[in-house]
Amino acid sequence: MTTDHYDIAIIGGGPVGMALALALRDTGVSSILLEARGVPENDEDPRPLALSHGSHLILRRLDVWNRLTRNTPITEIHISNRGSLGQTILTPEDAGVPALGYVVNYHDLFCSIHQQLLNSETDYLAGATVTKLDTGQQAGTVTFDYQGETRQISTQLLVLADGGKLAGQLPQIEYHEHDYHQWAVVANVKAEARQTGIAYERFTPDGPVALLPNREDFALVWTVSPVEAKTIIALNEPDFLVRLHRHFGDRLGRFISAGKRSAFPLMLKYAVSATARRVALIGNAAQTLHPVAGQGFNLGLRDAFELANEITLAHVQAREIGAPAMLAKYQQKRQFDSSAVRIFTDSLIKLFSNENALLKHACGLGLIALDRTPPLKRFVARRMIFGARG
Ligand SMILES: Cc1cc2nc3c(=O)[nH]c(=O)nc-3n(C[C@H](O)[C@H](O)[C@H](O)COP(=O)(O)OP(=O)(O)OC[C@H]3O[C@@H](n4cnc5c(N)ncnc54)[C@H](O)[C@@H]3O)c2cc1C
């Protein structure tokens, strides 16, 4: 078996792995991206992604943003808690940005990054399934199946962007996991009220329900118990629309129609450290979060961006790529952002998804206080947009 050598081997060509590969183009660092599936699925993943203004800036630098023509700017976010009075409204002025974020379709984002990747000089193998990882003091080795052959690559740094599937092979990587026992039901829905730009995040004891602006329609992310998710997916369209109306309330009038429904199980999974010997984790491989507040991809994109910076800096300064010093800097840079966003999203779920009347009242008061305290609003909004450093 022949063994090729690259400075960097990226495993997993989801949106975050592809973003890292793009960020490394034209840097003089040799890299390869290995993806088990790789080509955009014909069947569209209906998941909406709320991209923060910070992600928008990174995607512009990667020349991906201009391909994402179907995006809806978020001009207001309404946050409320069912069964209590409080509400907070966030606007771009609160955060000092042109838009609070942009809603895009996962499939569009995937295709846009993928197309840009194909236009670059990046070595990219789709249909390459990694089966084995080994790491030593000086280098790592990746074994993968490609077109019926087993191949091997040696590398200075192995980047896991595989959603966390292969990390079990590396004893130095330890995960914490928490099952929320919730699923997200996702669909595109049309409401009686015609408006654009307003995102609704409504907390209920079963979990949050979000309606994100998708041009004149809404992208629904409805969190429910696993049993209820199955029931909701199986409902006929009129019954589904009535049930959603009953659950969400009357703010948008009745719901008129819905597109294909899909459901995703939700869990919190995060690596205690985002690095190990000759290994760095990015995206969902580093942390998989609850989709409340739409932070997972935004955080993963910042992982990719920071790692690309550290790699490029090491290369320019003729320091060893993937050496303990470089990995320690990456870990140190990401730890604060990753922990803060994880604790923020996890606390939202734990605080708001409950039936306790006293706690519900306290959450309502919290939303009122947030709404009436501009510096606090600015603090929260900027952290949702730019990460922990705001
Ligand atoms: C319902 C829902 C709504 C969401 N909404 C938002 C939102 O509004 N905003 C936001 O920022 N985030 C959101 N997220 C989170 C976001 O979708 C994820 O964080 C993001 O897609 C993770 O991308 P990734 O590239 O890290 O991982 P993945 O997309 O999991 O990609 C991993 C890739 O690795 C490949 N792979 C796996 N194993 C191997 C192997 N052995 N060999 C080679 N390749 C392999 C897979 O084929 C896959 O392509 C949401 C998530 C859900 C479920």
Q: What is the pLDDT of residues 74-92, one digit of tens each?
A: 999 998 887 777 788 999 9
Asked if residue 261 is part of any domain, the answer here is: no
Report the number of distinct structural domains present in the chain.
1
Which percentage of the chain shows pLDDT scores above 70?
A: 95
Top pLDDT among 54 and 31 is at 31
Of 126, 53, 81, residue with least CA distance to 302: 53
Residue with token string 């955080």: 299
**Do 290 and 180 touch, CB atoms closer than 8 A?**
yes
Mutate to test the pocket of ligand 1, among 18, 35, 201 (most ligand atoms within 8 A of CB): 35
Mutate to test the pocket of ligand 1, among 281, 284, 334, 349 (most ligand atoms within 8 A of CB): 284
Asked if residue 222 is part of any domain, the answer here is: no
Q: What is the CATH number of the domain that holds 40?
A: 3.50.50.60
Asked if residue 186 is part of any domain, the answer here is: no
Nearest CA to ligand 1 atom 37: 162
Question: Which parts of the chain fold into alpha helices (H)?
Answer: 15-23, 53-61, 92-95, 106-119, 226-234, 237-248, 296-316, 324-352, 357-372, 374-386
Note the pLDDT of residue 253: 94
Note the pLDDT of residue 207: 85
Q: Per-residue confidence at 147, pLDDT binned at 50, 70, 90?
A: very high
β-strand partners of 289:
none
Distance of CA 128 to the CA centre of its chain: 23
Q: Range of 372's domain?
A: 3-176+267-386
Asked if residue 144 is part of any domain, the answer here is: yes
Spatial CB neighbours of 150, under 8 Å, sequence gap ≥ 6: 1, 131, 143, 144
Does position 365 have pLDDT exceeding 80, yes or no?
no
Asked if residue 125 is part of any domain, the answer here is: yes
Asked if residue 61 is part of any domain, the answer here is: yes
Note the pLDDT of residue 389: 65
Asked if residue 237 is part of any domain, the answer here is: no
- pTM for the model: 0.93
Does position 34 have pLDDT exceeding 90, yes or no?
yes
Note the pLDDT of residue 41: 66
- Kindly list the protein residues whose Cβ atom lies closer than 6 A to any atom of ligand 1: 11-17, 34-37, 47, 49-50, 129-130, 161-163, 165-166, 184, 186, 221, 264, 283-284, 291, 294-298, 300
Asked if residue 62 is part of any domain, the answer here is: yes
